[in-house]
């Protein structure tokens, strides 16, 4: 493992702010605005990697998402998000506009409580899992690696635990 954040201390490399707090051995995002994306990330960059986290919806809006940010660079970033009402999405943002790579898609694998999210980046191939179920398997020609972290979009509250970044063998 390259990064292992269990959120069981008073500090995290992911960064804290007025929206991101350590609370009850979890990293929690709350009190966001409806039309904004709230991100926190580590400073290191990765190309081929496996990013995993346990993520839980804690309240407020149900029609927006939370999850993993990856491939962060000066040009933009990718997000794999789930929503508490049973959807997932793969999206790219250049910082001002969003492009759906996979628009919101309904699935029965999102559950109440914590969901195990995983993004596997290998070259230009991106695979994403919800609770060990493969839901995304795409090639992204513009993917070149970058920063990784967590995302909480809009006015929902979410908690995260066990954030791990691994380099595959």
Residue-wise pLDDT for 6-28, tens only, equals 998 878 887 777 788 888 899 88
pLDDT of residue 141: 94
Any idea what the Cα angle at residue 75 is, between residues 141 and 106, rounded to 5°?
60
DSSP 16: -
Q: Is the pLDDT of residue 147 over 70?
A: yes
> 79 vs 16, which has greater pLDDT?
79
Beta strands 20-23 and 156-166, pairing class: unpaired
Q: Is the pLDDT of residue 32 over 90?
A: no
Q: What is the mean pLDDT of the chain?
A: 90
Q: Is the pLDDT of residue 35 over 60?
A: no
CA 54/CA 15 separation, integer angstroms? 18
| Listed range (29-33, 61-65, 83-87) with the worst mean pLDDT | 29-33
The band of 148, judged by pLDDT with boundaries at 50, 70 and 90, is very high
The band of 34, judged by pLDDT with boundaries at 50, 70 and 90, is low
pLDDT of residue 59: 81
Give mean pLDDT, residues 40-63.
Answer: 87
CA 22/CA 7 separation, integer angstroms? 7
- The phi, psi pair for 141, rounded to 5°, reads -60, -30
């Amino acid at each position: 493992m390259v990064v292992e954040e269990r959120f069981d201390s008073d500090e995290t490399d992911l960064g804290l702010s007025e929206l991101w707090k350590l609370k009850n051995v979890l990293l929690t995002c709350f009190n966001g605005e409806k039309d904004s994306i709230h991100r926190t990330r580590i400073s290191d960059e990765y190309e081929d990697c496996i990013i995993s986290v346990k993520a839980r919806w804690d309240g407020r809006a149900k029609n927006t998402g939370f999850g993993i940010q990856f491939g962060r660079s000066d040009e933009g970033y990718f997000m794999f998000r789930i929503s508490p009402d049973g959807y997932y999405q793969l999206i790219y943002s250049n910082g001002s506009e969003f492009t759906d790579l996979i628009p919101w898609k309904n699935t029965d694998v999102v559950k109440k409580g914590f969901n195990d999210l995983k993004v596997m980046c290998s070259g230009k191939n991106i695979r994403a899992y919800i609770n060990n179920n493969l839901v995304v398997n795409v090639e992204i020609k513009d993917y070149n690696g970058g920063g990784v972290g967590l995302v909480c979009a809009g006015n929902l509250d979410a908690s995260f635990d066990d954030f791990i970044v691994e380099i595959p063998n």
